[in-house]
Amino acid sequence: MNNPPAKLSQDITYDWSPELVKTCTRRFILRASRRTQSALLLLLALGIFCIAKGAPVGWVMIAFGLVPVFIWLRGYQRSVKLAESRSDREVTVRVDPESMTFRTSEKESTLKWSQIKEAWISPDVLMLFPQGTRQYIALPVASIGEDLKQYIETNIRQNGGKVA
């Protein structure tokens, strides 16, 4: 990006609120499970069909179809509970030409652009995935602004990352 945004190299602070965690966790689960969702629906439909025809194997199919749903729900609940238990939810981010730095009262991390392998874009949140992990860093678009969001997306792409 030729013209860096005005917020570049300025500290931007946002709240790691339970609402933000709920939004991100929901999006993560729905997107990460896309491949399995249709198979689970098919398994549940077959189970219901078998039960309607009097075959008890339908209950087993339904049980197998519901296990991943319960696992996803448990992960969602754990994430939200962890966010609610945090006393200090303030996150400060600084975007520089060569990296991004995230700071809380407990930890500070700097990621070079080349370390961000993927970014998931939605209207209200930007989810960044560092290399070697399926954990994400969330940036609320309202806090960073559209110009800085575009700048981040461009830098991730220019350094070999995927933006979707």
pLDDT digit of tens for each residue in the chain (164 aa)? 556 676 676 889 999 888 999 999 988 888 888 888 888 889 999 999 999 999 999 999 999 888 988 988 898 889 888 888 888 889 999 999 999 999 998 899 999 999 999 999 988 899 999 998 888 899 999 998 888 999 999 999 999 999 98
The three-class DSSP label of residue 37 is helix
Amino acid at 3: N
Q: Residue 80: what pLDDT?
A: 87
Q: Which of 36, 31, 6, 2 is nearest to 129 (CA)?
A: 31
Q: How far, in Å, CA of 92 to CA of 107, rounded?
A: 11
Q: Are residues 23 and 139 in contact, defined by beta-carbon separation less than 8 angstroms?
A: no
Query: Residue 96 corresponds to which tokens in the numbers above?
Result: 């520089």
Q: Residue 3: what pLDDT?
A: 61
Amino acid at 115: Q
